Chain A
């Protein structure tokens, strides 16, 4: 089976499909779902969604994600501010979790998607280059974990609404949640056929 480039596994039913022209849309022969979008469409969609999510990420980081009202005094925390506050309080593991989930993972994901998009369909010789299919896999796995911070904010909002202390989400939370949403869409819109071609394209 030397021409393995021309086989693709459907992401819905996992049945094997054969194709000749990777610039066309492809529908699964068994479950009739759309597997791939064709190069142009999938490239531009992924770029657009990625840029959108980067913009949202910048917004999310420049506005407070958490607003604490203690005895009438309001203080607010941005993502980084929250991490620093936790670190100074001495809860290092939690500070590390929040940092990894809401700073490190999104940025890593941006770079992974960027890398995939830039090297899209460029032939990669030999094994010394990074395996793009694996990278794509990683982005899919780590993607949702950046939601941790938003969930924490939502939990605190839901539970701390006393007369003395009141915690609410900030504008940053909305931007952050949209950022996660658009990065996931961006990763999903990449047509896996080209990643595969890049992998054995010599």
Chain B
């Protein structure tokens, strides 16, 4: 019986293979499909903290200020995420409003807070038992986080509005763009399997 901890299954092609210890800063690739299996990221927790704090700040900005300012025939209005959801509730669309709260507000917050707390747990070496719940939360809410799709929708809505309204971008438009870019960095640089290996004693991350 081989130790299951020394194995890994490629997410893309399901090939079972052995793990190897990696030197810092290098990447392990799948033998079948050559996609990245896992990395030994330099300072993964520092990066995790930096990215998640950046993302949180951008997220707060994106929620506080208007995304778009429009005026139609002299009347002005602006688009803010909370106002939009409040508007939907006001019009009686509870289901739509609630789902939008989940996918646009709660999930991104949970994701970023999870990254942050995970990094802090690793760094401070406290509350290790909570870590696995946080990872589960993280994975579940990552599936429901749709700010990137929301951003594309803003562009689509823009085209619809541009015919009869004067539109200008607000601060939050750029904050939202920044959030999405940081999120892409997080997804590229911090993989769950690495976060997890940081806790488990078995692999490459027994460094400090």
Query: At the interface with chain A, which of B21-29, B57-65, B131-139?
Result: B131-139
Q: Give A158 to B89 CA distance when docked, in angstroms.
A: 11
Residue B171 at the chain A interface, CB threshold 8 Å: no
Contact residues in A for B9 (Cβ distance below 8 Å)? 7-9, 14, 16
Contact with A16, one of B8, B93, B143 (Cβ below 8 angstroms): B8
Q: Give A93 to B152 CA distance when docked, in angstroms.
A: 13
By the criterion of a CB under 8 Å from any partner CB, how many residues of chain B are at the interface?
A: 55
Contact residues in A for B126 (Cβ distance below 8 Å)? none
Would you list which residues of chain A between 137 and 164 have a CB under 8 Å from chain B?
137, 140, 144-145, 147-148, 150-152, 154-164
Residue B54 at the chain A interface, CB threshold 8 Å: no
Q: Is the interface of B mostly helix, strand, loop or mixed?
A: helix
What 0/1 readout, one digit per residue, does chain B (57-86) give for beta carbons within 8 Å of chain A? 000000000001010110101111001110
Q: Give A98 to B152 CA distance when docked, in angstroms.
A: 11
Contact residues in A for B161 (Cβ distance below 8 Å)? 156, 159-160
Q: Give A30 to B9 CA distance when docked, in angstroms.
A: 15
Contact residues in A for B78 (Cβ distance below 8 Å)? 159
Answer whether A164 and B93 are a contact pair too, CB < 8 Å, given A154-B88, A158-B84.
Answer: no
Contact with B77, one of A30, A162, A181 (Cβ below 8 angstroms): A162
Contact A173 B146 (CB under 8 A): no
Contact residues in B for A4 (Cβ distance below 8 Å)? 14-16
Residue B124 at the chain A interface, CB threshold 8 Å: no
Q: Give A13 to B139 CA distance when docked, in angstroms.
A: 9
Q: Give A150 to B103 CA distance when docked, in angstroms.
A: 12
Would you list which residues of chain A between 1 and 52 have a CB under 8 Å from chain B?
1, 4, 7-9, 11-18, 29-33
Q: Give A89 to B4 CA distance when docked, in angstroms.
A: 60
CB distance from B18 to the nearest CB of A (A): 9
Of all chain A residues, which has the CB nearest B140? A12
Contact A31 B96 (CB under 8 A): no
Contact B196 A158 (CB under 8 A): no
Residue B181 at the chain A interface, CB threshold 8 Å: no
CB distance from A68 to the nearest CB of B (A): 11
Answer whether A9 and B11 are a contact pair too, CB < 8 Å, given A91-B159, A159-B79.
Answer: yes
Contact with B153, one of A18, A152, A173 (Cβ below 8 angstroms): A152
CB distance from A138 to the nearest CB of B (A): 12
Q: Give A127 to B169 CA distance when docked, in angstroms.
A: 51
What 7 A-B pairs are tightest by C-beta distance, nearest first?
Answer: A158-B84, A151-B153, A9-B9, A14-B193, A155-B157, A16-B7, A162-B75
Using a CB–CB cutoff of 8 Å, the interface residues on chain A facing chain B are 1, 4, 7-9, 11-18, 29-33, 86, 89, 91, 93-94, 97-98, 133, 137, 140, 144-145, 147-148, 150-152, 154-165, 168-169, 173-174, 177-178, 181, 184, 188, 196, 199
Q: With contacts A31-B132, A177-B96 known, what are 11 further pairs, Cβ within 8 A?
A: A9-B8, A9-B9, A14-B193, A16-B7, A30-B132, A94-B156, A147-B146, A152-B157, A157-B91, A158-B84, A178-B95
